[in-house]
Amino acid sequence: MTIKVGDKIPQATLLKAGADGPQQIDTDAFFAGRKVALFSVPGAFTPTCSAKHLPGFVEKADELKAKGADEIACVAVNDAFVMQAWGQSAGAEGKVTMLADGNGDFARALGLTMDASKFGMGERGQRWSAIVDDGVVRELNVEEPGAFKVSAAEYMIGQL
């Protein structure tokens, strides 16, 4: 079942690269008591994700925070080291928290997976964005396959 507005974000463990290796991030704790601008991409270093999606959130980070987002986070079915390298290459440090859903458990729990096997990528998370307020989905923007519009930073600014 796909998550919807008004639902609580499911409990899962994501990973974030740190100085001492991957750090476990519990979603219940991560989203508790704050507003998070969350977005998901099918894969780090992929064309639309690298040219538009992540750069848009990096560029608009100050504006999103001024509109009430306590944190901006990107999640993808990649490992923590790839997410860290991608974030560094995009200038995301200090602006966007890069979260790894290495096995796709979070994407499956949300009901927002896609089959990217024809691209040699296996099961991935769909392209989407959400405003999560104290662990509850307040806005959810899921893209149609191949599209990039409603999950963009600019679209989210209008929702905050």
Quick count: other Cβ atoms within 10 Å of Cβ 60? Answer: 21
Spatial distance between the Cα atoms of 68 and 59, rounded to a whole number of angstroms: 16
Give the residue carrying structure tokens 């099918």: 42
Spatial distance between the Cα atoms of 4 and 21, rounded to a whole number of angstroms: 33
Given the residues 9, 49, 69, 110, select the one marked as catalytic: 49
Spatial distance between the Cα atoms of 38 and 139, rounded to a whole number of angstroms: 10
Instruction: Examine the residue annotation and report whether 49 is marked as an active-site residue of this protein.
Output: yes
69 backbone φψ class: left, alpha, beta (φ>0; ψ -120 to 50): beta
Which residues are marked as active site?
49
